Amino acid sequence: MDDLAAVCAKIRQWPRRILADDHALARLCLEQCCHVFEAPRAVLLIDNGEEPWLNIATMNDGEFTWIEDEDLSLESVVAEEYEDRSFFVEAIDSRLRRLIGGEAILSVAVLADSLQARLFLCDSKLPAEVALAVADPVGVLIALQFEACTQLGSAVREGIEQERLRVARDLHDGLLQSFTGVVLQLETVHSLLVAEPQAAQRMVTQAQGLIMSDQRELRRFVEELSPRRSRVTSKFEFADRLEEMRARFHDQWGIRVVIDVASIDPDVSSFLGQETFRLISEAVTNSAKHGRASDVTVAVRTAGSEMHIEVSDNGSGFPFHGRLTLEEMRASGSGPTMLAERVASLNGNLTVDSTERGALVTMTVPLGFGA
C-alpha cells in the first residue's frame, strides 16, 4: 500500500500543460512515465492515421529520440483483442525489443479518439501489481494530453483561417473598393485632359489625396497585424477617421455624409474603435453602392457599457422592405449579411429598417469587448 500511495502522489503531480507539438508532448509524457514507474526506458508508439508510418518516441536513461518506421504497426505489436488492456509481455517484436531492451516489459493501453497509441515500459522497479494498478490511469492521462494537443492544433488552424477571412474581407470592403474608385477617377481624367485641363487637374489632386489617405489606412492595417508589443490600450480618434471617410465618399461617390460623434467616449480603445469604424464604413458603402443614396447621416454615441451607431440614408433601401434583426439576417441570408457577421463577431446587435425612401441601420456593440 505504501508503494501505491507513493505512485499516486507522483501521478497527482503530472504536468497539466497543453503542448501543441507532438514531439515535446511525447517527451514530457515519457519523462513522467519513467518517473512514475521508476523505469530506465520507455517507448511510446503513436499512429495518428495521417501518415503512412508509425511514430516511435523513446526515452532511454534521460535521452529522447523520435523516429518514423514504415514497417512497424500497432497491429503487429498488440493483438486486436488486447488493444484496450494493459499487461506484462514477454514475446515482443524484435525491432521493438531492440528499442526497449530489458526483461520485464509493461504494455500500457493509450485510448484516444484522435489517434492510436501504446506505451511500453522497461524494467519498472515497482511491484508488478502496483504497476498494473496505475497503468490504465496513466494511459488515460497520456490520451487526454494528446487529445488536448489535437484540439489545440485544430483551434489554432481554425483561428488562422478565420483571421485570413477577416483580413480578406477588410481589404475587399475597404482599401480595394477605394482603389477601384481612384482608378475610375483617373480614367475620367484622361477624357478631361484636353477639353477641361483645370477640372482634370482638380481630379488628379483629389485622387492623390485619396491615395495618401489609403496609404495611412494600409499602414494602420499592417500595424494591427503586427504582434502587440505591449498591452497598453491606445485611444481611437473617431472624429479624424470619420472625417477622412466623409471626404472619400464625397470625392469618389459624390455623396453628402453628415457625421455626429459629439457624444462618444474619448477613451474608446483602439481595437474597438477600428472594428466599429469598419462597421460604419461598410454601412455607408451599402448606402452608396446598393441604396444609391445621395445623403447619409452617421451618429455614434456611447452610453453605459455600449456604443450605439445609427446610419440612415435617403436611398432606395435594401431589396426587402420592413425590419430585420441580426438573428433573422444570419438565419435567412437576407439584408447586409456581411455587416451582420461583423456585428456578431463583436457580440453586438443589429437591426435594419428598409423602405423605398431609404434605410436605417442601428448597431450596438459592448464597450468591454477586446479589453
Report residue 183 as a C-alpha cell: 482608378
Q: Look at residues 273, 281, 284 and name the one whose alpha carbon lies nearest to residue 365.
A: 273
In the chain, DSSP finds a helix count (H) and a strand count (E) of 11, 12
pLDDT at 10 over 50: yes
Report residue 119 as a C-alpha cell: 506505451
pLDDT at 228 over 60: no
pLDDT at 241 over 90: no
pLDDT at 344 over 80: yes
Average pLDDT (74-95) is: 79
Question: Which amino acid is it at 309?
Answer: I
Cβ partners under 8 Å of residue 265, min gap 6: 302, 367
Of residues 110 and 221, more confidently modeled: 110
Q: State if pTM tops 0.75.
A: no
**Res 121: pLDDT:** 93
Q: Mean pLDDT, the chain, as a whole number? A: 85
**Res 172: pLDDT:** 67
Neighbours of 370 (CB within 10 A): 14
**Res 50: pLDDT:** 74
Average pLDDT (101-126) is: 88
Report residue 254 as a C-alpha cell: 459624390
**Res 371: pLDDT:** 38
pLDDT at 144 over 60: yes
pLDDT tens per residue across span 190-226:
888 878 888 888 888 878 777 877 777 777 777 767 6
Name the pairing type of β-strands 306-313 and 322-325.
unpaired
Q: Which residue has the cell 487529445?
A: 147
Cβ partners under 8 Å of residue 33, min gap 6: 39, 42, 59, 119, 121, 138, 142
**Res 19: pLDDT:** 86
The size of the chain, in residues, is: 371
Of residues 235 and 305, more confidently modeled: 305
Residue 104 binned pLDDT confidence (cut-offs 50, 70, 90): confident
Q: Could you give the C-alpha distances from 280 to 211, 257, 274, 284, 362, in angstroms and in order? A: 20, 12, 10, 6, 10
Q: Which helix (H) or strand (E) holds 191?
A: helix 177-192
* Lowest-confidence region among 11-15, 39-43, 196-200: 196-200
* Lowest-confidence region among 35-49, 146-160, 314-328: 146-160
pLDDT tens per residue across span 284-328:
988 988 889 999 999 999 988 899 999 999 999 998 899 999 999
Of residues 37 and 171, more confidently modeled: 37
Looking at the chain, the whole-number percentage of residues with pLDDT higher than 90 is 38
107-132: b or e for each residue (b if 16 or more CB lie within 10 Å)? bbbbebebbbbbbbbbbbebeeebbe
To the nearest 10°, the Cα dihedral for 324, 265, 175, 161?
-70
Q: Look at residues 310, 329, 311, 309 and name the one whose alpha carbon lies nearest to residue 319.
A: 329
**Res 369: pLDDT:** 45
pLDDT at 93 over 70: no
Name the pairing type of β-strands 358-366 and 306-313.
antiparallel
Give yes or no for a contact between 272 and 279, defined as CB atoms under 8 angstroms apart.
Answer: no
